[in-house]
Amino acid sequence: MLRDFFDTLGFLTRLAPARVIPESAMNRCMRWMPLVGLVIGLLIALPLWLGLFAASPWVQAWLMVAASIFLTRGLHMDGLADVCDAVTTHTDPERFWVVVKDSHTGAFGAMGLVMALTGQVILFHAMLARGEYWAAAWAFVLGRAAAVWLGYHVRHLVRPGLGKLYIDGATLGVALAATLFTFAAGWIMAGLPATLASTVIVTLILLGLFRLAEKVGGANGDFLGCAVILGELAAGLGFALVM
């Protein structure tokens, strides 16, 4: 179990040495996604909670986003950009997947990144200005749980590739465990009202991604990355809605 956790940490972040993971072990990484999110969130929030730039919550919020990008190598942002670029052609499934596989970022991908990054800075500021450092840390848990939940619901749509190895691990048991862990962590770190509001928002977002996957006849790792970023934003929106 410990090796599986460090495999996941090394694959998704810079917090463990990168390593080649056997295909047979890839789907076991999915069960560790929320815990990896917790590690990322606590590591980023801790120095801010200890007082780093305490007089400048805007700077803290920007640093939180910058640290997230650095620690994850921008992996999930890339998935968001690919889906944003391709969704403009979603009425044509064949064209959708051509755009997703294109390594270049188009106008809609750039707009999606700008909206996501500015949204994260604004929403993290709303939390940090109130001293809610652990609520901000929980956003990274919800983001990765969102990927697990989406993965479970698109297993029958998954396309061949690296994403399939991950999504195959999103069983019902893994999805339920992610739900319990994420909800309990949210209750402790962000409070029950914010957790409930964020859960409703992320559910609606994931429903939209699921319907997109049905329309284009598939899902891949880019969908998971998109779910992570939108899940993090949902945590901020839920907090802002009830606070």
Q: 220 in a domain, yes or no? A: yes
On whether the pTM is more than 0.85, the answer is: yes
Summarize the confidence of residues 125-139 as an average pLDDT.
97
What is the tally of structural domains in the chain?
A: 1
Q: Does the residue 41 lie in any domain?
A: yes
The residues, ordered by sequence, that sit 6+ positions from 8 with a Cβ below 8 Å of its Cβ are: 29, 32, 33, 36
124 vs 118: CA distance, rounded Å: 10
Domain that holds residue 145: 32-242
pLDDT > 90 in the chain, percent: 76
pLDDT at 90: 64
Residue type, 193: P
Residue 82 belongs to some domain of the structure: yes
- Predicted confidence at residue 177, as pLDDT, reads 97
Q: Is 80 among the domain residues?
A: yes
Is 6 inside any structural domain?
no
- Determine, yes or no, domain membership for 96: yes
Considering the domain boundaries, does residue 3 fall inside one?
A: no
Gap between the Cα atoms of 146 and 175, Å rounded: 9
Answer yes or no: is 15 within a domain. no
Structure tokens, 198: 């964020």
Q: Is residue 23 pLDDT above 80, yes or no? A: no
What is the predicted pLDDT for the residue at 91? 67
CA 48 to CA 74: how far, in whole Å?
Answer: 21
